[in-house]
């Protein structure tokens, strides 16, 4: 029943992926497309998933029908369910969340009925001023059935839609009230409204299948349904799709942008292109910078699967040291994997990850990973390499040290759990048992995505929060 992550708390999680399709006369199977699109976004959330469709009932009335539950797509959906989700528009969501009692309630999309009808909302991101908004709503008697920011947005939506002339207008009004990260799709019976926060924290792109429109957190989801990539949503942009076509509202555009740099470093799938820059290339770049900044003599460069592989390849390209396969990751370990009884984390890791003795024995090894959070997993992986006969282990991290919490949808630990807040790089090196350790420099991190059209948020490394965060009081 519970997700069993054998890496325990020592890993990062992205909060969500969203996908929407509006069929413009192409007779698409919208729920199936959404299902496929979400499959390509499953790495962005494995706790729950859901799809809502706009369907015309026997009386010709359009109704929103939804299905969502805890679990992976393959656990929640089946042929029968997909077939009952017929319609001309669909919106889907995959979600990761830290544990909580009423988790089932938090699955998205969130379908709400209100004065003007109903809507389904799929949201990726994290707002920073919910406390104040929630307080105001509560004073007016609002009730909350979830702990999602999405429910806050739904409340605002109902309130603003009553006072305004269109969903788009209401959404733009809401965007003046909420601060933080949000890429979202709102599906009403008649149209689909898509919005991205003015900073552009989370990615959101637009695609096309024939005459129909597709929206997805990442371009890899467009590829999976063979949609043509059109462009990325602009930060602050509101798009409305209906029978009359696509309308873009940019009243909120033009602010200083701050796309989450960790999308490039860890979150996004490497085959996605975000705001102009290939994720894969950004990771190769990170590896190349690392090689330049922190060279070391060695026989082989390896990456920690899966997220360290690209940077390792980049390091190899730049240094000329051969790239090798350092680990084999067991592809069959799922959420119901049974843990070792004596709670030996080393044992668990050993089952998930096996060092490739052939590549490593007797070698000086450069091991590239994307980040170090608490240090325990890293220490175990270094141990695996030592046991496999590595003569030297040089750890290279393709991002700077984590020093600050994230308030925009990344599940980064509190400062008191972050090893880099407690120890110097040398101390960390000793703690993880490496022969040397180097992080990517801030400067290099800021240059790993040269084609990115947006500015980047790197607050987790630098502490420069691009918007006011009450908890940090960074006014």
- Residues acting as catalytic residues: 16
Residues 181-240 that bind its own copies (CB under 8 A): 220, 223-224, 226
Q: Identify which of residues 325 and 442 has a Cβ nearer to its own copies in the complex.
A: 325
User: Quick one: 2 or 475, whose CB is closer to its own copies?
Assistant: 2
22 interacts with its own copies by CB under 8 A: no
Q: Which of 177, 178, 180 is nearest to 126 (CA)?
A: 180
Residues 6+ apart with CB under 8 A from 373: 10, 11, 12, 402, 412, 413, 417, 418, 419
Is residue 341 part of the contact set for its own copies (CB under 8 A)? yes
- DSSP letters, 279-324, are HHHHHHHHHHHHHHHS----SEEEE-TTTTHHHHHHHHHHH-PPB-
State the minimum distance, in angstroms, from the CB of residue 40 to its own copies. 7
Asked if residue 49 belongs to a known ligand binding site, the reply is no
**C-alpha span between 212 and 449 (Å, rounded):** 31
Contact 244, 59 (CB under 8 A): no
Contact status: 7 vs its own copies (CB under 8 A):
no
Q: Which residue has the tokens 């409340």?
A: 155
- Tally the C-alpha atoms within 13 A of residue 45's C-alpha that lie toward its C-beta: 29
Q: Which of residues 71-110 bind its own copies (CB under 8 A)?
A: 72-75, 77-82, 101-102, 104-105, 110
Site for its own copies contains 350 (CB under 8 A): yes
Question: If we measure between CA atoms, which residue out of 210, 196, 186 comes closest to residue 274?
Answer: 196
Q: Please give the Cα distance from 39 to 123 (Å, whole number).
A: 17
Q: Minimal distance in Å, beta carbon 265 to its own copies?
A: 16
Residue corresponding to tokens 């919910």? 130
| β-sheet bridge partners, residue 365 | 300, 393
**Helices 345-352 and 376-387 sit at what angle, rounded to 10 degrees?**
60
Q: How big is the chain, counted in residues?
A: 475
Q: Decide: is 381 part of the binding site for its own copies (CB under 8 A).
A: no
Which residues within the stretch 37-76 sit at the binding site for its own copies (CB under 8 A)?
A: 39-40, 42-43, 46, 63-66, 68-69, 72-75
Interacting stretch for its own copies, rule CB under 8 A, among 181-189, 235-243, 322-330, 362-370? Answer: 322-330
* Residue among 270 and 470 whose Cβ is closer to its own copies: 270
CB closer to its own copies out of 164 and 422: 164
Give the SS3 label for residue 150: helix
Q: Is 253 annotated as a binding residue?
A: no
Does position 319 interact with its own copies (CB under 8 A)? The reply is no
- Closer residue to its own copies, CB minimum distance, 112 or 124: 112
Report the 10 Å Cβ neighbour count for 438: 18
Instruction: Work out how close the CB of 42 gets to its own copies at its nearest, in angstroms, rounded to a whole number.
Output: 4
* SS3 per-residue string spanning 331-382: CCCCCCCCCCCCCCHHHHHHHHEEECHHHHCCCEEEEEECCCCCCHHHHHHH
> What residues between 414 and 443 interact with its own copies by CB under 8 A?
none
Of positions 62, 71, 169, 317, contacts its own copies by CB under 8 A: 317
Q: How far, CA to CA in Å, does 212 sit from each of 33, 40, 120, 248, 426?
A: 12, 19, 19, 16, 55
Candidates 125-133, 182-190, 346-354, 406-414 — which segment interacts with its own copies by CB under 8 A? 346-354
Q: How far is the CB of 66 from its own copies (least distance, A)?
A: 6
Helix (H, G, I), strand (E, B) or coil at 441: coil
Residue 106 near residue 95, CB atoms below 8 Å: yes
30 binds its own copies (CB under 8 A): no
In the complex with its own copies, the residue whose CB is nearer, 380 or 469, is 380
Q: Is 338 in the site for its own copies (CB under 8 A)?
A: yes
Q: Of the ranges 13-21, 150-158, 235-243, 423-431, which one interacts with its own copies (CB under 8 A)?
A: 150-158
Quick one: which of 306, 426, 430, 471 contacts its own copies (CB under 8 A)?
306
Region label for 472, one of left (φ > 0), alpha (ψ between -120 and 50) or beta (otherwise): alpha
Identity of the residue, 10 or 223, whose beta carbon is nearer to its own copies in the bound complex: 223
323 lies in the site for its own copies, by CB under 8 A = yes
Choices 203-211, 230-238, 269-277, 399-407; region in contact with its own copies by CB under 8 A: 269-277
| Residue 149 labelled as part of a binding site | no
114 near its own copies, rule: CB under 8 A:
yes
Whether 378 has a binding-site annotation, put simply, is no
Is residue 131 a contact residue for its own copies (CB under 8 A)? no
Could you tell me which residues are annotated as the binding site for [4Fe-4S] cluster?
A: 260, 406, 457, 460
Could you tell me which residues are annotated as the binding site?
A: 260, 307, 369-370, 406, 457, 460
């Amino acid at each position: 029943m519970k997700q069993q992550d054998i890496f325990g708390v020592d890993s990062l999680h992205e909060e969500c992926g969203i996908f929407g399709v509006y069929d413009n006369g192409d007779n698409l199977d919208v729920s199936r497309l959404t299902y496929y699109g979400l499959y390509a976004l499953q790495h962005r959330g494995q706790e729950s998933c859901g799809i809502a469709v706009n369907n015309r009932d026997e009386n010709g009335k359009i109704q929103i029908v939804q299905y969502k539950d805890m679990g992976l797509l393959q656990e929640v959906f089946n042929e029968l369910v997909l077939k009952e989700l017929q319609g001309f528009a669909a919106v889907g969501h995959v979600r990761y969340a830290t544990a909580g009692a009423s988790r089932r309630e938090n699955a998205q999309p969130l379908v709400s009925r209100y004065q003007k009808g109903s809507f389904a909302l799929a949201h990726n991101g994290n707002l920073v001023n919910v406390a104040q908004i929630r307080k105001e709503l509560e004073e007016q008697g609002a009730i909350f059935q979830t702990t999602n920011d999405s429910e806050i947005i739904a409340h605002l939506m109902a309130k603003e839609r009553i006072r305004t002339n269109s969903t788009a207008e209401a959404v733009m009004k809401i965007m003046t009230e909420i601060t933080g990260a949000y890429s979202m799709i709102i599906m009403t019976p008649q149209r689909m409204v898509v919005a991205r926060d003015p900073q552009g924290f989370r990615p959101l792109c637009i695609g096309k299948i024939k005459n129909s429109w597709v929206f997805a957190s990442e371009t890899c989801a467009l590829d999976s349904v063979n949609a043509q990539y059109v462009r990325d949503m602009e930060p602050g942009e509101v798009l409305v799709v209906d029978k009359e076509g696509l309308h873009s509202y940019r009243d909120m555009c033009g602010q200083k942008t701050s796309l989450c740099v960790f999308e490039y470093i860890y979150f996004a799938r490497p085959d996605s292109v975000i705001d102009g820059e290939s994720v894969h290339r950004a990771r190769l770049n990170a590896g190349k910078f690392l090689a330049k900044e922190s060279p070391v003599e060695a026989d082989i460069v390896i990456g920690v699967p899966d997220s360290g592989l690209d940077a390792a390849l980049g390091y190899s390209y730049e240094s000329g040291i051969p790239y090798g396969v350092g680990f084999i990751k067991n592809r069959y370990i799922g959420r119901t994997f049974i843990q070792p009884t004596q709670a030996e984390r080393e044992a668990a890791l050993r089952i998930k990850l096996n060092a490739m003795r052939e590549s490593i024995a007797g070698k000086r090894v450069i091991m590239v990973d994307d980040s170090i959070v608490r240090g325990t997993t890293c220490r175990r992986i270094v141990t695996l390499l030592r046991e496999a006969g590595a003569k030297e282990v040089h750890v290279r991290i393709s991002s700077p040290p984590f020093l600050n919490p994230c308030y925009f949808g990344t599940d980064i630990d509190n400062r008191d759990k972050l090893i880099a807040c407690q120890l110097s790089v040398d101390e960390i090196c000793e703690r993880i048992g490496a022969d040397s350790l180097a992080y990517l420099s801030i400067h290099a991190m800021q240059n790993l995505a040269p084609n990115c059209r947006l500015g980047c948020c790197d607050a987790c490394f630098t502490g420069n929060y691009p918007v006011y965060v009450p908890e940090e009081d960074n006014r």
